[in-house]
Structure formats: structure tokens, C-alpha cells
Amino acid sequence: MSGRAAGYPPQRAAQCRVLKRSNVLHVQRIGLVGLGLTLSLGISAVSADVVAVVSSKSAITTLSKNQVMDIFFGRTTSFPDGSHAVPIDQTEGSAVRDEFYSRIAGMSPAQVKAFWSKIIFTGRGQPPKTVATSLEAKKLLVENPNTVGYIDQSLVDSSVRVVLAP
């Protein structure tokens, strides 16, 4: 139905169409902003509190961010006291793994993957041993005092010692 048929002059009808289109765009933007906020709140709710840990039998009591990064990125194979360090990583796609590398190294999962692809391709090293869950990591950590790993903070008990809580 044209503006004339509704009793409006053509200029006024064009203004009404522009206003209707503008209102629709505002409603769509508000909806997208609302959706974005909802998703961001949901993502932060599933973000884990990840801590770097060793076995409670280990002589290591604390590590700096740089020391943990150096061990996990293969730059060093020993703890500050000289004992051998064996990093235990978790599988790609794990929320705990993503949070660990984000907080410790400031790296996204894609950046971590690219780092290891380059190291492997150039023959300069291999990534750490991986396990599927924080529970598996904790089991290996408890069994070997030379291992260092990361787990969800809710799993910390007397069998492991937190050496870095980013």
C-alpha cells in the first residue's frame, strides 16, 4: 500500500519507511548486543581456575610464570634446583588447557599449536606428554615428583602442591 493510499503525501510516506527501517535496525542491534553479553557471561562462567602443580613429594615449592613457561615450551628441562622437570600437558580443546596457556603465556590455542608445529618441523623439540583430563594429570603428578602440570584448582588436595596460581 503506497503512502497516497494511506492518506499521506509521498514525502511523509518515505520518511515513515525510513523510520521503520531504522527502528528495525536498532532492535536487531540491541538483540545482537544482548546475545553477545549472554555468550560472554556464559564463557566466563565456564572458565576454569587453573593452577600449576607438582607432587607434594617434590622439593619444588614455587615457580615463576617464566619458569613454568620455559618448562612447558621446552626451553628448559630442569627445575631451578637442577632436578629434571617433566611437563604434563592436557589435550587440545580442553578448557583447562586453553585457560592455562592464556593466563601463563597470553597465547590462544591456535598460537600454541603454531608454536609446537614450528618447533617440531624444525626438529628442535617435541611437545610435552598429554593427558585427557585434570584427573589424569593429577594421577601422573602424584606418581612422579619430577613432573609439573596444571589442573583445575578445585582438584587441589594434599597430594599435590600449587607452585603457581596465575
Question: What amino acid is encoded at 20 in this protein?
Answer: K
Determine the distance from the C-alpha atom of residue 25 to the mean position of all C-alpha atoms in its chain, rounded to a whole number: 34
Asked: is 50-164 a CATH 3.30.70.20 domain? The reply is no
Residues 153, 165 contacting (CB under 8 angstroms): yes
Q: What is d(CA 166, CA 101) in angstroms, rounded to the nearest whole number?
A: 11
Distance of CA 19 to the CA centre of its chain: 43
pLDDT at 45: 41
pLDDT computed for residue 40 by the predictor: 47
Per residue in 58-109, pLDDT tens? 999 999 999 999 999 999 999 999 999 999 999 999 999 999 999 999 999 9
Average pLDDT of the residues of the chain: 84
What pLDDT does 155 receive? 96
pLDDT at 22 over 80: no
Distance separating the N- and C-terminal Cα atoms of the chain: 64
- List the chain domain ranges: 1-46, 50-164
> Which amino acid is residue 120, in one-letter code?
I
Rg (CA), the chain: 26
Residue 110 burial class via C-beta count within 10 angstroms: exposed 0-12, middle 13-18, buried 19 and up: exposed
**How much is the pLDDT for 166?**
75
